[in-house]
Structure 1
Amino acid sequence: MIWEVFRQEESGEYHTHCGNVHAPDREMAKQFAAIQHGRRKPTNSLWVVPKAEVGEIDADDVAFGGTTDKSYRWATTYRTTGEDAREVVESEDEQATAEQQRGDA
């Protein structure tokens, strides 16, 4: 039987998939996981799960994030003209600068 192994490096962090082990039962799978995946890197905990029990949801099953248009929240969405739009133009410039800085980081 194949068991998927998820490793947590430090307490409070997410568990990430690090591989799998082949074992006849849960106890052997936990021992194999500790030997194969727990000793190579700093490890706080391991999750050992039967491969058949790991469920997957992909983009064909459900639409993930970004389905609602919320572009109205950003000044860059609006076209500005006239004297009354000065604040929006300044905000748009600040937004563009912030996006550039995030890209540089």
Structure 2
Amino acid sequence: MIWEVFRQAKTGEYHTHCGNVHAPDREMAKQFAAIQHGRRKPTNSLWVVPREEIGEVGSDEVAFGGTTDKSYRWATAYNTTGTDAREVVESEDEQATAEKQRGDD
């Protein structure tokens, strides 16, 4: 039986896949994982999971995020030249003129 092994280097970090072991049962798989994958690098914990218990959700089954255009979130998506700057200056001038007319100087 094949067991997939996931290693956590430090407390609070994610477990990442580091390999697999061949073992007849869970206890042997844990021992083999500790020997093969836990002693070479700093290790806080190991997850040992039967390969057939791991499920996959593919993009053919579910539409994952990232399909919507959200380029407006990045400054590089804006054109900094053109009429936009002129409109801002004109608006500021209009606001200053209105304040003078109200006597807000």
Same fold per superposition (TM over 0.5): yes
Instruction: Give the corresponding residue for 2:61.
Output: 61
Offset, 1:34: 0.4
Offset, 1:84: 1.6
Radius of gyration: which is bigger?
A: 2
Offset, 1:39: 0.6
Instruction: Give the corresponding residue for 1:47.
Output: 47
CA deviations over 1:13-58 (Å, ceiling 9, x no partner) = 1100010011111111001100111111110000000000111122
Distance 2:31 2:75 in 1: 55
Q: TM-score, normalised by structure 1?
A: 0.71
Matched, 1:72 2:61: no
What letter matches 1:81 in structure 2?
G
State the aligned residue count: 86
Runs of 4+ in 1 over 3 A off after TM superposition: 72-80
The alignment partner of 2:6 has SS state of strand
Distance 2:82 2:47 in 1: 57
Structure 1 unaligned runs (5+)? 87-105
Matched, 1:84 2:99: no
Identical amino acids, percent of aligned pairs: 79
What letter matches 2:64 in structure 1?
F
Q: TM-score, normalised by structure 2?
A: 0.71
The alignment partner of 1:68 has SS state of coil
Structure 2 unaligned runs (5+)? 90-105
